Amino acid sequence: MKHCLIFLLVVSIAVSGFSQGNNYVQNYSKFDGLALTPPMGWNSWNKFACNVDEKLIREVADAMVSSGMKDAGYTYINIDDCWHGDRDSLGFIHPDATRFPSGMKALADYIHSKGLKMGIYSDAGSQTCGGRPGSRGYEFQDAMTYAAWGVDYLKYDWCNTDGLKAEGAYKTITAALRRAGRPVVLSICEWGNDKPWEWGPAVGHLWRTTGDIFNCFDCINDHGTWKSFGVMQILDMQKGLRKYAGPGHWNDPDMLEIGNGKLTAAEDRSHFAMWAMIAAPLIAGNDLRTMDKETIAVLTNKAVIAINQDELGVQAFKYTTKDSVETWFKPLKGGDWAIAFVNRSKQSQKIAWNWKLSPIKDPDFDHQLNIQTQNFNLKNLWTGKNTGTTKTVLKAEVPAHDILLLRLEQQ
């Protein structure tokens, strides 16, 4: 009789639960209040690929402070692929014990002690792009582990994802992060294949819009089954995407190649300035420990960074192209504007810009620059010098692959 009563009780509960429906609902929404301006930091991949260990990461964190990058606004120290060891018998991931003998919690504590934040990498598939254990099937365990370690940022890649749908896979890791309880910036690294700008704003804080960047100003690197792209090719691929971005949800044209040795000083300036203009995450990808003065000057230019970090959060738009010189405008909070003249040709180009042309209208948002009714002072953001006003025609010469970046300050 006792066994019969227990059986009837279990059946009753099961039937009751079925009739009421499943009340357990996942939270597929990202953490609010994070990345209200484009994230700034460093990532290991561009320079070091799989050659990462805790000594390198500690030294890079030290260099971010000593170089002035932390003071300029850089926050995240992000460890990309290949930090992984094996999963234990319960499925929990552990770091490579040879490369990270102190463990990730100790490393996160060290980074936090510097006033910085730590990021980590995983993949929606069964394996990462570097062949390490992916998070597929282990999303909630991995999120719990990252929270216990003190992780602040997760780059989530898209290799080895046979049969998965991107939106669903990224919702799963978002739900896992929410369940773990530690606020984490989620970087969706799906390469733009499934239009993440359409569904990403609710799920993550930034999303890759393209394939990988390549350390070249204006070229394509064909690997056979896939391609990587130069700075200008990546920039071209942002067309039509600015309307999807804003505070807390950013288009990500991939990491910076500044300081990695193949771009000229002019190309470094153009790369950095245009990433600032399009409100891209500023994630350095060079060796911070060995930077020369020129690289530091580019990466820590606070006037240019202010354009990127502007609280209005609106990307620049391309207005004209003439003689290989593109003119871009970016509205800023409070009524100022930024304008960039980027020279894509291999020869120096002269420009003459008449400010009294018809009003400049933002094609996607309600912003208008009308210099016929208002004058502005012009500040060159690379030299720091005032270069006149909008009362007269702007005449300048822009060297090959270089950029003239101005802030229009209201009089």
Instruction: Quote the Cα angle for 273-81-190, to 5°.
Output: 65
Tell me, what DSSP letter sits at residue 352?
E
Residues 6+ apart with CB under 8 A from 198: 244
Residues 6+ apart with CB under 8 A from 87: 93, 94, 133, 138
Distance (Å, whole) CA 364 – CA 362: 6
Residue 368 in contact with residue 342, Cβ under 8 Å? no
The yes-or-no answer on residue 157 being catalytic is yes
Buried b (16+ CB within 10 A) or exposed e, 69-92: bbebbbbbbbbbbbbbeeeeeeee
Residues 6+ apart with CB under 8 A from 395: 350, 351, 352, 353
Residue 249 in contact with residue 206, Cβ under 8 Å? yes
The yes-or-no answer on residue 212 being catalytic is yes
Catalytic position from the list 81, 142, 152, 157: 157
Residue 354's CB is within 10 A of a number of other CB atoms, namely 10
Q: Which helix (H) or strand (E) covers residue 229, if one does? A: strand 227-229
Tell me, what DSSP letter sits at residue 78?
E
Structure tokens at 349: 């180009």
- Report which of 70, 18, 79 is spatially closest to residue 44, judged by C-alpha positions: 79
Distance (Å, whole) CA 238 – CA 201: 16
Supply the residues annotated as catalytic: 157, 212
